[in-house]
Structure 1
Amino acid sequence: MKPPIGRDTRLCMSLSGRPGNAGSRFHNYLYEILGLDYVYKSFSTQDLAAAIGGIRALEIRGCAISMPFKEAVIPLMDDLESSARVIDSVNTIVNDGGRLTGYNTDYVAVRRLLERRIDKPVPFLLRGSGGMAKAVAAALRDAGFADGTIIARNEVAGQAIADQYGYRWRTDLPRDSAPLLINVTPLGMDGKDSDTLAFNKDQIAACNIAFDVVAQPINTPFVRAARAARKNIISGGEIIVLQAVEQFILYTGIRPEADDIREATRYAHGADVAARIAD
């Protein structure tokens, strides 16, 4: 049984431009069933430096980092784990006695999904140029996906990702499609872009696999259109669960059993995502 919250309870947290409840539900569910004296809370901030200083000063054990802070947080770290250093993007902070180390568990999650869901490398279109796009591009390259195009209106960021990982770059959607379409933008996310398709219907009809990293909501317009067209789908819900498991291990030193992960996923994200995690 989980101990009652007290002075010895360890706090973990998240920082996001658009805080949600799924991460808190996932981590706190596992703390409860594993009897761990931890609690998890989501936050946003207008003062990133002060928030990171608070993690250090208050001995907060760990912090998940989401858009738009994944790159901005780097100068505030004491050290970077190898994947975060290479990708130049942090999605996880671990506090060891006041020393903050940045990790990138997004990379781990995407790499595993590519290996589980796709039999062999295929050409792809990747839309996006932020910190998550870097993690996805790195995972694609390391999984052997050599033929790809980065689509990004930001010329500096888009060209940099393409050059670093050996892909092409362009500012707008091409007329043609590719076997693998990947959305790594806020298009389809709750908010002003919630009704926007990341790729057009003709491109979706011509693809084989639709991969959307957006997790709020999981059923984005892109995912719904791909499902209607009977395409294979990799959802943001799958990424967020797999990367959260890696965060949980970094924070607690414990790897949950598969059944516990599925139950926490069902509680936080619903039965559909839990079933896909079980594959």
Structure 2
Amino acid sequence: MSTPRRPPIGRDTKLCMSLAGRPGNFGSRFHNHLYEALGLDYVYKAFTTRDLPAAIGGIRALGIRGCAISMPFKEACIPLLDGLAPSAAAIDSVNTIVNDDGLLTGHNTDYAAIAPLLRQYGVPAETPFVARGSGGMGKAVVSALRDAGFRDGTVVARNEAAGRRLAEGCGYRWQAEVTSAPLLVNITPIGMEGGPESRDLAFPEELIEAADYIFDVVHLPPETPLIRRAREMDKVVITGAEVAVLQALEQFRLYTGVTPSPAQVEAAAAFARG
């Protein structure tokens, strides 16, 4: 059976995009690989902006089908949209915009990716956790933990107001410093490629050693310092690269209405990381 070919770019080609403070290549490579594999008349391009209202207005005015939203725009974009899907409304954080004939709806596919990964790796809901971070991604992860049945949790955040708001809103504790727990979750940029803390561990080695499960939502690089050290200690690890694939797949479905096969998703993810 012949492989479908994406039609040549023309006036009917649908554009999807991303907005991030520091754009990467993963989304563009993942989505464009699947458009080619499935013969879809779409194209995807990453952008950044210093004028968020104008950028969101451009999505509406130009008929851009969808837009992935990353730091630092996940909360700031909300007043510029026409409505929120339940996944975004529940946590006041958007990572995906879908444009239906000029009606812009915010979704959160990060939230949707967390519970399946916890189940996949067999993390029991009774496991106490410490989650470090309280930004837009923090909202998605901590809310997903709550909704997956995790009852014993601590949110660690330097911003006390944001940390308390997130922790107490989800029924957890806030504290300023990291402590030991069987499940450690990094939701900060610590360990992110190109960042000022790219070589740092999000948790001290003694806390990694004492934990059973390590979950780092940073997806670039795929093996962060935290993930590498946890593997060396033979811990169960969940990576941000896995989150990135699941959330991008859900975005793809929202934009196109098409569900790729597992083999197509695996090939697109490998291409995106290459």
Q: State whether TM-score is above 0.5.
A: yes
Q: Distance in 2 between matches of 1:87 and 1:111?
A: 15
Match of 2:271 among 247, 267, 278: 267
The Cα offsets for residues 16-50 of structure 1, whole Å up to 9 and x where unpaired, read as 11111111000000000100000000011111111
Q: Any stretches of 5+ residues in structure 1 without a counterpart?
A: 271-279
User: Does 2:182 correspond to 1:179?
Assistant: yes
Give the structure 2 partner of residue 204 of structure 1.
208
| Contact kept in structure 2, 1:28 and 1:39, CA below 8 Å | yes
| Contact kept in structure 2, 1:188 and 1:214, CA below 8 Å | yes
Match of 1:158 among 163, 169, 174: 163
Give the structure 2 partner of residue 217 of structure 1.
221
Match of 1:30 among 11, 34, 41: 34
Q: Distance in 2 between matches of 1:159 and 1:58?
A: 40
- Work out the percentage of aligned pairs sharing the same amino acid: 62
* TM-score of the aligned structures, taking structure 1 as reference length: 0.95
The Cα offsets for residues 195-218 of structure 1, whole Å up to 9 and x where unpaired, read as 111000000011111100001112
Match of 1:139 among 139, 144, 161: 144
Alpha carbons of structure 1 residues 46 and 105: separation in structure 2 relative to 1, 3 Å: same
Q: Which runs of 4+ in 1 moved over 3 A?
A: none
The 3-state SS of whatever aligns with 2:90 is helix
| Contact kept in structure 2, 1:115 and 1:143, CA below 8 Å | no
Give the aligned residue type for 1:22.
F
Q: Distance in 2 between matches of 1:70 and 1:118?
A: 29
The 3-state SS of whatever aligns with 2:105 is strand
Give the structure 2 partner of residue 275 of structure 1.
none
User: Does 2:72 correspond to 1:68?
Assistant: yes
CA-based RMSD: 0.8
Give the aligned residue type for 1:168.
R
Give the structure 2 partner of residue 169 of structure 1.
174
Q: Distance in 2 between matches of 1:114 and 1:232?
A: 11
Aligned residue pairs, count = 268
Q: Distance in 2 between matches of 1:115 and 1:267?
A: 26
Q: Distance in 2 between matches of 1:181 and 1:18?
A: 26
The Cα offsets for residues 66-103 of structure 1, whole Å up to 9 and x where unpaired, read as 11110001001100001201100000000000110000
Give the aligned residue type for 1:261.
V
Q: Distance in 2 between matches of 1:31 and 1:104?
A: 22
Shift of residue 219, structure 1, vs aligned partner: 1.1
Q: Distance in 2 between matches of 1:111 and 1:194?
A: 27
